[in-house]
Amino acid sequence: MLPKRFPDREEIATVRTEAAELDPGVEGGHEHRLAGRILARRDMGKLMFLDLVDRSGRIQLLIRPDELGGVTVDLGDIVGVSGVATKTKRGEPSLAVRELTLLGKIRTSLPDTFHGLTDTEAR
């Protein structure tokens, strides 16, 4: 059973602003709670990067899969996360995730926007 609510969440734009002011590799002081849809996923071995999007913007999530207890996340899922603002070594404003809650599972996969529509009748 998925939770119905994810209280005390903030908008991504406010967390992005805080993370942008940090030096690369430094974590912020207090914990933030965000909710949104996963639109990109990059697995890099011991670290996973997700792009979380809400109505205010986009932020990169830094996740260590072994610390989250086997939660599987697919593109298009709606999740709630809590963690601290940080900036990666390359300067990308991010959220270092401490807890991830699955709020909604996508039933069908998102359409492929890279190649566009091949069937003109599907528009």
* β-pair partners for 100: 81
Q: What is the pLDDT of residue 114?
A: 64
What average pLDDT does the structure give for the chain?
Answer: 88
Percent of the chain whose pLDDT exceeds 90: 59
Q: What is the pLDDT of residue 55?
A: 95
Tokens of 19: 């993370």
Q: What is the pLDDT of residue 65?
A: 82
Task: Return the closest-CA partner of residue 77 out of 49, 46, 41, 45.
Answer: 41
**Strand 57-63 with 93-104, pairing:** parallel
Q: What is the pLDDT of residue 113?
A: 64
pLDDT, mean of residues 10-31: 92
Q: What is the pLDDT of residue 53?
A: 97
Domains of the chain: 12-107 (2.40.50.140)
Q: What is the pLDDT of residue 123?
A: 58
Query: What is the per-residue pLDDT across 73-119, written as a single tens digit (0 to 9) for each?
Result: 889 999 999 999 999 999 999 999 999 999 999 888 777 666 666 66
Q: What is the pLDDT of residue 72?
A: 83
Tokens of 87: 């900036």
